[in-house]
């Protein structure tokens, strides 16, 4: 079975499009179509239903996809293991990180890393922590430097690097700005601006309210903490933000019996061999963690 054909198959399946898959693989669309056709001929079965512009996996395609991913991951793992024998810290390192960590936590780590190991070709992509973890699970990224999941999937190893205490915040003109310590029941009398449902930070917030059986009146949702900070500062509602983001336009509000925090750190695939470049990044992150 041709490896390039499997790569094309996985790319089309994950992108849902031959054209987007061709961009991912840096091939022409006819070249991708040819590889898929060869694979379908070899397996004597159709892998995709092509209806207009829509491309969907057939039952056979859905059965093949996890196995094709496993084959490609095993091949990458073998290459990485052999490459590590040289002992050199070089080559590509594919990392994903969140915007908040990339802006507020990662710069000194990247500065030290590129100074120590200049032969590494860093590929750093910014995305939501949840997406980053998915890309690490699929083998598309070696490391994710992210808000750690509350309950990590079994495929992922995690290491906390930075504790991140959270606090309830309101704008300076908010009715609760000068109340000091309040009850959670008083807080939910006012609308909230929160991270989007399904994000790890939102899970931390909802877990804090769940035992009290209190519904949070959410006015607005967004994945970007800087945007939440702006909306809170102009009076659109209260929120929960990292304590490190407190500034002159925000006021911290203490809510009785509620101490929130999230964990920031690194994730990697539990069953994959890390490259020397990834091991060096992991060691540097742990070094920064021990300096706290």
Identify whether residues 242 and 183 lie together within a single domain: yes
Low-confidence residues of the chain: pLDDT under 50? none
Give the tokens for residue 251.
């006021």
CATH number for the domain that contains residue 286: 3.40.190.10
Are 152 and 271 in a shared domain?
yes
Q: How many domains does the chain have?
A: 3
168 lies in the same domain as 256: yes
Q: How far apart are CA 255 and CA 270, in angstroms?
A: 38
β partners of residue 167: 241
Same domain flag for 131 and 270: yes
Q: Is the dihedral of CA 14, 15, 20, 23 positive or negative?
A: negative
225 in the same domain as 239:
yes
> Both 216 and 158 in a single domain?
no
Domain span holding position 11: 3-83
Q: Domain check: are 146 and 174 in the same one?
A: no
pLDDT at 80: 78
Q: What pLDDT does residue 292 have? A: 60
Clarify whether residues 77 and 218 are in a common domain: no
Q: Mark whether 145 and 268 lie in a shared domain.
A: yes
Give the pTM.
0.75
229 lies in the same domain as 254: yes
């Amino acid at each position: 079975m041709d490896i390039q054909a499997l790569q094309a198959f996985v790319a089309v399946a994950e992108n849902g499009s031959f054209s987007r898959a061709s961009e991912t693989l840096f091939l022409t669309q006819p070249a991708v179509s040819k590889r898929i056709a060869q694979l379908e001929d070899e397996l004597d079965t159709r892998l995709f239903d092509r209806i207009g512009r829509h491309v969907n996996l057939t039952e056979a395609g859905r059965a093949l996809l996890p196995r094709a991913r496993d084959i490609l991951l095993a091949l990458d793992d073998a290459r990485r293991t052999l490459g590590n024998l040289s002992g050199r810290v070089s080559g590509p390192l594919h990392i994903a990180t969140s915007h908040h960590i990339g802006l507020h936590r990662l710069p000194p780590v990247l500065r030290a890393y590129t100074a120590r190991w200049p032969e590494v070709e860093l590929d750093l992509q910014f995305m939501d922590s949840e997406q980053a973890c998915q890309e690490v699970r699929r083998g598309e990224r070696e490391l994710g430097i992210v808000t750690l999941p509350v309950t990590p999937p079994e495929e992922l190893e995690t290491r906390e690097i930075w504790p991140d205490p959270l606090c309830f915040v309101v704008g300076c003109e908010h009715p609760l700005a000068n109340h000091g310590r309040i009850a959670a029941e008083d807080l939910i009398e006012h609308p909230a601006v929160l991270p989007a449902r399904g994000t790890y930070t939102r899970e931390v917030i909802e877990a804090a309210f769940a035992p009290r059986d209190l519904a949070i009146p959410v006015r607005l949702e967004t994945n970007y903490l800087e945007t939440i900070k702006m909306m809170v500062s102009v009076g659109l509602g209260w929120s929960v933000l990292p304590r490190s983001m407190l500034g002159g336009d925000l006021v911290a509000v203490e809510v009785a019996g509620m101490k929130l925090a999230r964990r920031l750190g690194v994730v990697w695939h539990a069953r994959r061999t890390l490259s020397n470049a990834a091991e060096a990044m992991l060691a540097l992150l742990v070094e920064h963690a021990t300096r706290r």
